[in-house]
Amino acid sequence: MSKKVRQNKIIEIISTNEIDTQEELAQILNSSGFDVTQATVSRDVKELGLIKINGIKRKHRYSIT
C-alpha cells in the first residue's frame, strides 16, 4: 500500500472517530489492513499537518486543520 492511500485513510479515520493517540490510530490502521507502527503514524501526522486538540472542553483528539 502506498503512503498516500494510508494517509487518506488517516483523514477518513480521524473524521469519523475520536482519536486520542497515535498508538490508537496505528491500531485502527492495522485493523484496516495497513500495517504500520506509531513511528510512521507520527510521520504521517506531521506530513498531513494534523493537530492535536487539547482544549478544556474538547479534550484530546486529532483533527485536520
Q: Which of 12, 52, 58, 64 touches DNA (CB under 7 A)?
A: 52
Dist CA 26 CA 46 (whole Å): 14
**Separation in Å, CA 24 to CA 27, 37, 64:** 5, 10, 17
What minimum distance in Å lies between the beta carbon of 56 and its own copies? Answer: 5
Print the binding letters for residues 31-60 with its own copies: x by CB under 8 A, - otherwise: --------------xxx-xxxxxxxx----
Quick one: 34 or 62, whose CB is closer to its own copies?
62
Collapsing DSSP to helix, strand or coil, 52 comes out as strand
